[in-house]
């Protein structure tokens, strides 16, 4: 917990590094430790409220003691701990072997005050009860209105493990059988055509199909963004903000290894890691290209050359909070004041790559209208050569979206991460002699 508080890296990366240095810890204990850490992160605001109520600071040991003492029965995202007596906690904090040091009198007094208190107290402000950071409160309330608390509660649940089958190496049916043979409760994802859902904590070391490239870990919502891109075999496609390459993999597999996919990013080290994933998946139609910025000269040189361009823009990540609960309180990237103009610039620059009749898809893992619908509206107003391709037209199989024209997913409505994606088309070139619309 000290590392999560003090080191500017995502919690999942810190946990992985911590376990790599302690290979003697078995899978069961690793799972229990991870569950406990993530429970503390999901209850960060509420635990802090209780500690402040009793004049204590939020240092990690105090948070752990509060979590063990508070009654979690009616908690959003609760766990298997909680409601312990002072003597029960003292038995854990005995100072022997790997156990924490013995409790102080001050800590014993805190346990007595908190024992049996509900984690959710009527006096808590709503934003504390639903674990919403101040910087996102107004935007999320405007987005969800009367459903605000319901949606925020869903963001506090433990997400399932979603997998995407690589159709070049296996089928969903064969992979389901293999997972069920391992004793895992695997089922087809409700919406994604190659998706599989496992509603149980799983040691990834138990999944040989991950190492062979037969499956990739990918939230169902992310898989549906690739469905909306709808890349066809033989086409030329750009994933403009490819990152670790998850959507690139889905798009290239969609194309049956035919055609040409370019995975771009401004961080070359991420592209190098992605390239290893591409090789493991058996995909040979992907080229990686590091860009100096969104306005790299390469974009100008390849203007109007691509059938499909995906812009998975950097964003606030509000849709990923159930997987990354630490991101609520310790954003590691730029704030909205920086993100909004950056998103607009990236979208406008990437749009230059789309050929007449080609498709541009703008996507985020955010649930804020400022990063989603409002960005698309501003882009269309400034670029009349593009029009919206409605969800019904672009991917009629994707039903139940929270928006009539765009793909809009939330954990409460779809049991996916929060995702947004809008498809747009550059209109075909005008007839000879007719001037093109200005951009």
Closest CA to 103 of 51, 68, 54: 68
CA distance linking residue 293 with residue 4, whole number of Å: 30
CA distance linking residue 195 with residue 216, whole number of Å: 10
Residue 132: CA atoms inside 13 Å, Cβ hemisphere, count?
23
Query: What is residue 19's three-state secondary structure?
Result: helix
Give the Cβ contact number of residue 73 at 10 Å: 11
117 is catalytic: no
Closest CA to 187 of 196, 199, 178: 196
Six token digits for residue 12: 């999942």
> What is 27-46 written as a DSSP string?
HHHHHHHHHHHHHHHHTHHH
Buried b (16+ CB within 10 A) or exposed e, 265-278: beeeebbeebeebb
Cβ contacts of 152 within 8 Å, gap of 6 or more: 76, 130, 131, 132, 140, 144
- Of these residues, 132, 241, 315, 365, which one is catalytic? 365
**Catalytic residue numbers, as ranges:** 365
């Amino acid at each position: 917990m000290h590392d999560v508080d003090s080191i500017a890296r995502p919690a999942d990366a810190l946990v992985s590094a911590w376990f790599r240095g302690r290979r003697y810890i078995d899978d069961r204990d690793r799972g229990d430790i991870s569950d406990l850490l993530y429970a503390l992160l999901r209850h960060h605001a509420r635990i802090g409220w209780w500690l402040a109520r009793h004049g204590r600071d939020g240092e990690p040991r105090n948070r752990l003691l509060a979590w063990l003492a508070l009654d979690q029965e009616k908690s959003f995202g609760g766990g298997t701990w909680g409601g312990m007596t002072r003597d029960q906690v003292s038995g854990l904090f005995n100072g022997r072997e790997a156990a924490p040091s013995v409790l102080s009198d001050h800590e014993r007094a805190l346990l007595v005050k908190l024992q049996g208190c509900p984690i959710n107290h009527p006096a808590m402000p709503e934003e504390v009860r639903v674990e919403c950071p101040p910087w996102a409160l107004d935007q999320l309330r405007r987005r969800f209105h009367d459903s605000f608390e319901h949606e925020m509660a869903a963001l506090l649940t433990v997400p399932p493990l979603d997998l995407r089958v690589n159709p070049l190496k296996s089928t969903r049916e064969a992979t389901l059988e293999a997972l069920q043979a391992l004793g895992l409760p695997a089922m087809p994802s409700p919406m994604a055509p190659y998706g599989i859902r496992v509603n149980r904590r799983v040691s990834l070391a138990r999944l040989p199909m991950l190492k062979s490239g037969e499956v990739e870990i990918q939230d169902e919502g992310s898989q549906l963004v690739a469905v909306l891109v709808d890349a066809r075999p033989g086409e030329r496609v750009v994933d403009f903000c490819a990152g670790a390459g998850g959507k690139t993999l889905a798009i290239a597999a969609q194309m049956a290894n035919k055609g040409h996919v370019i995975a771009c990013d401004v961080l070359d080290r991420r592209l190098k890691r992605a390239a290893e994933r591409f090789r493991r998946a058996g995909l040979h139609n992907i080229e990686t290209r590091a860009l100096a910025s969104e306005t790299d000269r390469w974009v100008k040189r390849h203007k109007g050359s691509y059938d499909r361009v995906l812009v998975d823009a950097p964003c606030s990540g509000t849709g990923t909070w159930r997987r990354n609960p630490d991101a609520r309180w310790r954003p590691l990237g730029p704030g909205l004041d920086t993100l909004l103009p950056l998103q607009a610039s990236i979208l406008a620059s990437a749009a230059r790559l789309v050929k007449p009749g080609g498709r541009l898809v703008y996507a985020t893992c955010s649930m804020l209208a400022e990063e989603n619908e409002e960005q698309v509206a501003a882009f269309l107003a400034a670029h009349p050569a593009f029009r919206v391709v409605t969800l019904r037209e672009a991917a009629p199989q994707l039903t139940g979206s929270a928006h009539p024209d765009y793909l809009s997913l939330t954990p409460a409505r779809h049991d996916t991460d929060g995702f947004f994606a809008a498809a747009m088309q550059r209109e075909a070139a005008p007839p000879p002699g007719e001037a093109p619309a200005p951009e």
